[in-house]
Amino acid sequence: MSAAASARPLTTAVPSNEPNADPPQRSTAMYRLEHVTKEYRGKRTVTALKDVTLEIPAGQHVAIQGPTGGGKSTLLQMLGALDRPTSGRVVLGEAELSHLPDAKLAGVRAAQLGFVFQGFNLIPTLSAQENVEAALAPLGVAAAERTRRAGEALAAVGLADRAGHVPGELSGGQQQRVAIARALVKEPEVLLADEPTGALDEGTRDEILELLEGIRRDRGLTLVVVTHDSAVARRAERRLHLMDGVVTER
């Protein structure tokens, strides 16, 4: 059984109410952002996010588009527990991230969030297998289990036969698959991707998008993709536009 098929049950699905339950089913929110403002203070203060209030249901595929400087990366940093808002609240599941200390934020990132980047961000001296295993090290997973889970994750992205290759021996699309395996091996609830296909040709882009979409569907993951490529955004269930720090629905 592939890692994708053996994923844990969907904690993210709509609660299994009785058929006639009243009130009707609520969708579970993965993220709730309430009045999130982010300022970068320097010689000039830049307000990168302005009073953003937003809910992302569990399991949703969201695309975030908008011009350079609009605040996309800043928003992704909030969702990714990489930074805190200047004011407002960021709630992931039950946890409010806005006031957690750095060590707790790092723990949330390591355990709950998978990241995929435009430039793959693999360690060039490590094999595909070792790159994927590295994601489990902060979680205290024993060596034998790291090996097993990394092998399953590579199989789930179709790279079982490339486990021993270093990134320089792999195509861009294959490197991005390794990066996706690295994100998945933690069994995160959320996958955050910043221009995941920005460095790929169109054919490879579509393969990677199909892979991400299939993973989201099979595992019930929440998938947030920042992109300036409308062909990427069109595949999402929901499109957000971010300009001058203000989010609008498309």
Ligand X SMILES: Nc1ncnc2c1ncn2[C@@H]1O[C@H](COP(=O)(O)OP(=O)(O)O)[C@@H](O)[C@H]1O
Which helix or strand (DSSP H or E) is residue 108 part of? helix 102-112
**Looking at 27, 29, 50, 69, which residue binds ligand X (CB under 6 A)?**
69
> What are the CA-CA distances from residue 127 to residues 154, 164, 234 (Å)?
12, 5, 34
Number of residues that bind ligand X (CB under 6 A): 12
| Longest distance between any two alpha carbons in the chain, whole Å | 59
Cβ–Cβ contacts within 10 Å for residue 79, how many? 23
User: Which of Mg ion, ligand X, none does residue 48 bind to, with CB < 5 to 8 Å depending on kind?
Assistant: ligand X
Cα dihedral 242, 32, 62, 198, rounded to 10, equals 60
Smallest separation, CB 117 to ligand X (Å): 13
Nearest one of 119, 146, 114, 108 to 130, comparing CA atoms: 146
Do 237 and 207 form a contact (C-beta atoms < 8 A)? no
Smallest separation, CB 72 to Mg ion (Å): 5
Segment 35 to 54, residues that bind ligand X, using CB under 6 A: 40, 42, 46, 48
In the shown chain, the binding pattern of residues 71 to 110 toward ligand X, with x for contact by CB under 6 A and - for none, equals xxxx------------------------------------
User: Which of Mg ion, ligand X, none does residue 69 bind to, with CB < 5 to 8 Å depending on kind?
Assistant: ligand X
Smallest separation, CB 21 to ligand X (Å): 41
User: Which of ligand X, Mg ion, none does residue 17 bind to, with CB < 5 to 8 Å depending on kind?
Assistant: none
User: Which of ligand X, Mg ion, none does residue 151 bind to, with CB < 5 to 8 Å depending on kind?
Assistant: none
Do 88 and 35 form a contact (C-beta atoms < 8 A)? yes
239 is an interface residue for ligand X by CB under 6 A:
no
Cβ–Cβ contacts within 10 Å for residue 199, how many? 16
| Whole-number Å distance between alpha carbons of 248 and 245 | 10
**Looking at 52, 59, 70, 113, which residue binds ligand X (CB under 6 A)?**
70
Give the binding site for ligand X (CB under 6 A).
Answer: 40, 42, 46, 48, 66, 68-74
